[in-house]
Amino acid sequence: MIVRKDKILRTHITNIYGQSSSSTAMIAQNMVTEVAKSLGFNEIGIYSYPIHTDTPQEIRKRIDGMLAGVSAHDVVIVQLPSWNGIEFDELFINKLLSYPGIKIAVFIHDVVPLMFENNYYLMQRSINLYNKAVTLIVPSKAMANRLKSEGLVMDHIVIQQLWDHVTSLMPAAPKFEPLINFAGSVTRFPFVKSWHNDTKLQVFSQYDEKNLNERVSYQGWLPDNEILRHLNRGFGLVWSENTKNQFEREYSKINLSYKLSTYLASGLPVIVNQGISNQKFIEDNNIGIVVPSLSEVDQRVKNITKAQYNDMAENVKRVGYLIRQGYFTKKILIDTMHQILSY
DSSP-assigned states of every residue in 155-193? --EEE--S--------PPPPEEEEEEEEES-TTT-GGGT
**Does 23 appear as a known binding residue?**
no
**Does 260 appear as a known binding residue?**
yes
The DSSP call for residue 120 is: G
Whether the CB-CB separation of 209 and 190 falls below 8 Å is answered with no
How far from 23 is each of 28, 156, 160, 259, CA to CA, in Å?
A: 9, 30, 20, 12
The answer for residues whose C-beta is within 8 angstroms of residue 113's C-beta and 6 or more apart is 119, 120, 121, 122, 123, 126
**Does 24 appear as a known binding residue?**
yes
**Does 261 appear as a known binding residue?**
yes
**Does 193 appear as a known binding residue?**
no
Whether the CB-CB separation of 215 and 194 falls below 8 Å is answered with no
**Farthest-apart Cα atoms in the chain, separation:** 69
Whether the CB-CB separation of 163 and 183 falls below 8 Å is answered with no
**Does 244 appear as a known binding residue?**
no
Whether the CB-CB separation of 181 and 231 falls below 8 Å is answered with yes
**Does 146 appear as a known binding residue?**
no
**Does 252 appear as a known binding residue?**
no
Bridge partners, residue 159, by sequence: 138
Q: Determine the 3-state secondary structure of 290 from DSSP.
A: strand
Which residues contribute to the annotated binding site for UDP?
24, 188, 257-262
Which residues contribute to the annotated binding site?
24, 188, 257-262
